[in-house]
Amino acid sequence: MVGQYPPNMAEDKSMELTDFEAGLLEWLCENNFHAEPWSTKKAAKQFYVEEEAIYEAIAALTRKVPQRIQVFYKNGALHIAAD
């Protein structure tokens, strides 16, 4: 399997996104969290949910649409890039 991704790693599962996950992904794309630090607390406030729900949705997005989201640590803070 040279040059191929493991099963489920390269698949686009965007059709399996919940409404909340799709909305969060859209919001991530519209904001600049790759340049400015991420705040789970602010995201939870924006979506009127608990922080736990944000963490779970971000984790789900990295599994379902890994080609559209990148979570990374830079300069002492978490950043999220999405397209």
Nearest-5° Cα angle at 56, 52 to 57: 115
Q: The pTM is what?
A: 0.79
| Spans of all domains in the chain | 14-82
Pick the CATH number of 14-82 from 3.30.365.10, 3.40.1280.10, 3.40.50.2300, 1.10.10.10: 1.10.10.10
The whole-number mean pLDDT for each consecutive block of 10 residues of the chain, a chain of 83 residues, reads 45 79 96 90 97 96 95 92 93
pLDDT recorded at residue 5: 43
Q: Cα separation of 68 and 25, whole Å?
A: 9
In angstroms, what CA-CA distances link 35 with 3, 38, 56, 78, 80? 31, 9, 22, 10, 8
pLDDT of residue 1: 40
